[in-house]
């Protein structure tokens, strides 16, 4: 079974699909080890891992290389964050063909204008017209070869401060254009915007959310609202950066690397994660 088919099977099931962000092969392995159902090839994490801002600097090819690396070392589906699709409808067709050939299970594109800035950065969050973005969704569906490949349309209406009616209207247009999943993004401190949206969502298209700014909302609470996919998009790199910062600071301040081995994995454990037989 292909990984796209695995994802389709999950979508048909009654299970909540839990997804976590990764930025390289090792972090993807850790997502899989923790028993998430899928891996989010996070644009923010991949950019940050290269020391770059998430502002449309990296190319499609650079992001695809990392997603393919993740796919190579794991057995669960990869969902690729493809920002705004790297351009117009022709760029979207191009990316779908390439990601599908690399066995990526799904791609997600968002309805902001190119070049975009990260949703949590200060500054204007300008959206494309719904009609223009819907044409990108249609182009993506036209380009895919396998019926199992999944196209996710992400609306940033809440991020742009446009309210639930606009989020709902845009999502309906994207669903009608053929999107397999609608990702509704919010940076509110609670899940209230998502709850308001879900009260009015009647299309037979599953909804994904990213609870970065409402982390105390449980997966059960989100499932009770009718959400199908929950993406923990950046917690991995945020926690790993804090751990590395603490370790490096202790070494410099103490002049040695002993006394906190219990906060690191052993070299043998690292070998195991690398697939090296001891």
Residue 260 in tokens? 């906190």
Closest CA to 13 of 38, 40, 41, 39: 38
Spatial separation of the C-alpha atoms in residues 175 and 137, rounded to whole Å: 9
Spatial separation of the C-alpha atoms in residues 218 and 89, rounded to whole Å: 37
Catalytic: which of 14, 54, 81, 192?
54
Spatial separation of the C-alpha atoms in residues 21 and 163, rounded to whole Å: 27
Spatial separation of the C-alpha atoms in residues 124 and 111, rounded to whole Å: 14
Closest CA to 36 of 64, 9, 15, 65: 15
Cis peptide before 32 (omega within 30 of 0): no
Question: Is 224 known to be catalytic?
Answer: no
Reduced to 3 states (helix: H, G, I; strand: E, B; else coil), residue 259 is coil
Q: Using only the alpha carbons of the chain, give its radius of gyration.
A: 19
Q: Are the beta carbons of 19 and 37 closer than 8 angstroms?
A: yes
> Hey, which residues does 210 pair with through a beta bridge?
none
The secondary structure of 29-68 as a DSSP string is HHHHHTT-SEEEE-HHHHHHHTT--SSS-S-HHHHHHHHH
Reduced to 3 states (helix: H, G, I; strand: E, B; else coil), residue 4 is helix
Instruction: Find all residues with CB under 8 Å of 263, minimum gap 6, and list them.
Output: 243, 246, 247
Residues tagged active-site: 54
């Amino acid at each position: 079974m292909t990984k796209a088919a695995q994802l389709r099977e999950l979508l048909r099931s009654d299970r909540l699909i839990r997804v976590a962000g990764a930025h390289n092969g090792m972090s993807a392995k850790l997502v899989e080890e923790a028993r998430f159902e899928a891996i989010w090839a996070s644009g923010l994490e991949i950019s940050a891992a290269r020391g770059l801002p998430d502002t449309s600097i990296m190319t499609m090819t650079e992001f695809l290389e990392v997603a393919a690396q993740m796919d190579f070392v794991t057995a669960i589906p990869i969902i690729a964050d493809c920002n705004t699709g790297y351009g117009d409808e022709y760029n979207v067709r191009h990316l779908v063909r390439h990601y599908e050939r690399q066995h990526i299970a799904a791609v997600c594109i968002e309805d902001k204008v190119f070049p975009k800035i990260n949703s949590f950065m200060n500054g204007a969050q300008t959206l494309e017209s719904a009609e223009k973005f819907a044409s990108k969704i249609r182009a993506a569906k036209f380009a895919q070869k396998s019926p199992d490949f999944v196209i996710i349309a992400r609306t940033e209406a809440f991020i742009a401060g446009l309210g639930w009616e606009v989020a709902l209207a845009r999502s309906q247009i994207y669903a009608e254009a053929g999107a397999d999943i609608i990702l509704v993004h919010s940076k509110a401190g609670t899940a209230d915007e998502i709850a308001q949206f879900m009260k009015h969502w009647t299309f037979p298209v599953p909804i994904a959310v990213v609870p970065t700014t409402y982390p105390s909302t449980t997966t059960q609470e989100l499932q009770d609202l009718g959400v199908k996919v929950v993406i923990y998009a950046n917690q991995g790199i945020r926690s790993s950066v804090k751990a590395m910062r603490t370790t490096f600071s202790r070494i410099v301040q103490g002049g040695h690397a002993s006394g906190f081995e219990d906060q690191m994995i052993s070299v043998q454990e690292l070998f195991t994660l690398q697939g090296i037989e001891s």
